[in-house]
């Protein structure tokens, strides 16, 4: 009988199984941490995307002096009082004081239901916007909030992304 024909002894099999078990436990510890990292990266890219999306909606809303058409409005209130499609769909419409076209979204539309979005629009004539005081400018601030995934589950506190831009009357 040669050395290659004898096979493995029970001790060698047990030692190999123990080493494999240690390696598998190490991998099982890494999987939840990796899942957390992937989820965090996804949320960190989705939140600014949702904020930029809303900024584009506000930027593209008509706000002209001739004809007098204001579909941007002032957004210091929580909920929209007038639907944007009704205001901007037909002809010129001027918002009245207190009308809000871009209201808070406690849950953004599917598939982003885990994100909340708020829009605040400040009239720069009422107070300085980033150092600018002008009746033809408005400062738009969009905040997107989400609860991040942690290695132990969904986090108790939320994280936010805030983007701000100035919009000029056209």
Tokens of 125: 């004539």
* Single pTM value for the model: 0.71
Dist. CA 106–CA 48, nearest whole Å: 16
Helix, strand, or coil here: 25?
Answer: helix
Q: What's the DSSP call for residue 131?
A: T
For residue range 58-91, list pLDDT tens digits in order: 888 888 777 677 777 776 544 555 555 555 544 5
Count CB neighbours of 114 within 10 A: 15
Whole-angstrom distance, CA of residue 102 vs CA of residue 161? 17
**pLDDT digits 0-9 by tens, 91-143:** 545 565 555 667 788 899 899 999 999 988 888 888 888 888 888 898 999 99
């Amino acid at each position: 009988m040669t050395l290659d024909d004898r096979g493995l002894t029970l001790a060698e099999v047990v030692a190999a199984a123990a080493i494999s078990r240690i390696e598998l436990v190490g991998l099982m510890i890494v999987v939840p941490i990796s899942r957390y990292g992937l989820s965090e990266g996804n949320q960190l890219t989705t939140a600014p995307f949702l904020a930029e999306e809303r900024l584009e909606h506000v930027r593209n809303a008509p706000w002209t002096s001739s004809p007098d058409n204001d579909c941007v409005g002032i957004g210091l209130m929580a909920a929209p009082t007038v639907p944007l499609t009704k205001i901007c769909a037909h002809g010129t419409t001027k918002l009245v004081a207190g009308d809000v076209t871009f209201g808070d979204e406690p849950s953004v539309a599917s598939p982003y239901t885990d994100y909340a979005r708020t829009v605040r629009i400040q009239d720069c004539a009422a107070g300085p916007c980033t150092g600018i005081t002008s009746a033809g400018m408005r400062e738009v601030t969009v905040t997107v909030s989400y609860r991040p995934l942690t290695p132990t589950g969904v986090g108790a506190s939320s994280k936010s992304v805030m983007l701000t831009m100035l919009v000029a009357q056209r």
